[in-house]
Every structure is written in structure tokens, then in C-alpha cells.
A = this chain, B = another copy of it.
């Protein structure tokens, strides 16, 4: 795992204030076209879930960096078929889509029903690639192995931030009342007030548009009023348990590379002809995290 040095970050920090970047101005398309094969990574099938429902497959990358106990527990639930035949029961516009055991009736088997919250973690040991621009909610923001994150040096803590597509663990009022039997994904403008208040366990890397287009629930907080409005989940599986031929062949751009730094700069100052005034800044939840289908190996001619 390469981690950007302080020197590289300083260059990024000072580019926009001292004038034009040293490198030629490039669009994100330019940056991605120039990316090397090893700028891309594959998902760890043990840290990947497939949620399958009538509309298709949603691919979720789990984040053991931020919630190791919850990730373990969710893996146990998934492997015990806990979610199979349950449903999406809440779709609140500009907020979240939520699924799982809404009625709390299903046995968790050998998993834990609840766990202490994993809302923050020590910042030490976590390689945060830091964004250069101010954030409303956190002293520092950036990316940890593909996940949007924040850090507060004063308290020595770090946490995953609630951007579009981020998956968390529903809970009741008590901090230790969630365990993974109900999960939600952010489907609107980043609700950053949830940061440090709830456990983040992952991020949707494909299929988010299938969840985001579901009809909104009309009861309070976007719950579906009638049980028959709920959207059934066929099953959730750990990718490692799926035959290789049936796995989603995805690659994600690594966030700990110079290519990703170039991508950030290409989005802070848009070079496409359409843009008239570059923002000169970027907020963590506006940084694209590119995903592509794994290229086929080139045929020998």
C-alpha cells in the first residue's frame, strides 16, 4: 500500500494558491485515460456483498478499517442467509434507503443482535489521503483505501463520512442498539450530521442507481406505509461465496496514488470547455471514486 508523503500533499495544497499547476491542465477523462493498470484495484471478495433484488445487483464494499466488529457480524448474518427474503422498507427522499429485519423477528443465529457503536476510531495507523480544502464539518477530510473519511488531530480520532452511497448500521436511541440487522445507504445530499453518531460499514460501488430510484415511502421518515409496498430482497451474499463466474468484474481506482491526486485536481479546477469559473475547491463528497468493468485481457494476435 503506497501512502502519499507529506511532500506530495504539500504540492497539492499549494498549487491553487500560487497559480497554475506545474503539470498540464487535464480533465478527469484525461487523467483516467492515462491511468496505469496498477492504479486500479479489485475488490476483496471477503469484504464485498452482493444485494440482489428484482431490479438487479447492488455491490457493497465493506470497510473493516472503520467498523471491524460490525463488518464481522454482518458477514456472519449474510452467511446465515439472515437477509434473504427480507425487504427494503424505507426510502426517504434525499436521505436514505434502508433494509433488513424491520420487525426484529428473525433469529440472528450465532451473530450478535447488537454491538457497541463503532462511530469513530483512533486516527493512528490509518492512511488518510488529505484533501486541501476546508470542510464545514471536520478539521480534515480525505480518503482511506477508497472510503471518504475525516480526522481530528486534536482528539486523535478518525471516522468514515456520510457521502452518497455510504452504508451504515441502523440503530435505536441507545448507541449500542445496532448490530447490522438493519442497514441503510445514503441516497441524497450528504447528511454529515450523522458522522460520529452511527456506525459506517461500507459503500455501494455499483448498483446505487437501482436503490436510489425506488418509490419513496409515504409514512413518517420515508417508511412504506403498507407491508406489501416493501421491496423484497432476494438475497445478500458475500462475494467470496459466489462462484467466480457469477461475480461482478469490477475495478476501483486506488485512492492512494498520484493518479488519484491528479483526479482530485482535475475536479477542483474543471478544464472542460463547458466550465467558465473553476471552483478551485472540492468537498469530500464531490470527489468521484471511479469504478470500471475489469478490462478483458488483450488477445494475442
Q: Which of A177-234 contact B (CB under 8 A)?
A: 188-193, 195-197, 208-209, 212-216
Chain B residues within 8 Å of A276, by CB: 117, 119, 175, 196-197
Interface band, chain A = 35 or more
Asked whether, in the complex, the Cβ of B189 is within 8 Å of the Cβ of A189, the reply is: yes
A14 within 8 A of B: no
Chain B residues within 8 Å of A46, by CB: none
Cα distance, A270 to B165, chains bound together (Å):
23
A87-125 contact mask (Cβ, 8 Å, vs B): 1 or 0: 000000110000000000000000000000101000000
Q: Which of A254-262, A280-288, A290-298 contacts B (4 or more CB under 8 A)?
A: A280-288
Central interface residue in A165, A270, A286, by most chain B CB within 10 Å? A286
A163 within 8 A of B: yes
Asked whether, in the complex, the Cβ of A136 is within 8 Å of the Cβ of B133, the reply is: yes
Chain B residues within 8 Å of A278, by CB: 193
Contact A93:B192 (CB < 8 A) given known A134-B134, A134-B136: no
Asked whether, in the complex, the Cβ of B136 is within 8 Å of the Cβ of A164, the reply is: no
Cα distance, A273 to B277, chains bound together (Å):
43
Identical copies in the complex = 2
Asked whether, in the complex, the Cβ of B189 is within 8 Å of the Cβ of A281, the reply is: no
A22 within 8 A of B: no
Cα distance, A173 to B272, chains bound together (Å):
9
Cα distance, A202 to B110, chains bound together (Å):
53
Contact A209:B93 (CB < 8 A) given known A134-B136, A193-B279: yes
Asked whether, in the complex, the Cβ of B213 is within 8 Å of the Cβ of A214, the reply is: yes
Asked whether, in the complex, the Cβ of B173 is within 8 Å of the Cβ of A136, the reply is: no
Chain B residues within 8 Å of A191, by CB: 286
Asked whether, in the complex, the Cβ of B137 is within 8 Å of the Cβ of A136, the reply is: no
Q: 10 closest Cβ contacts across the A-B interface?
A: A93-B209, A136-B283, A209-B216, A196-B277, A193-B279, A164-B189, A173-B273, A94-B164, A136-B281, A189-B189
Enumerate 22 A-B pairs (CB-CB under 8 Å) in ascending A order. Answer: A94-B164, A94-B165, A94-B208, A133-B136, A137-B279, A173-B273, A173-B274, A175-B276, A188-B189, A189-B189, A189-B190, A190-B286, A191-B286, A192-B279, A192-B283, A193-B286, A195-B279, A196-B277, A197-B277, A212-B216, A213-B214, A213-B215
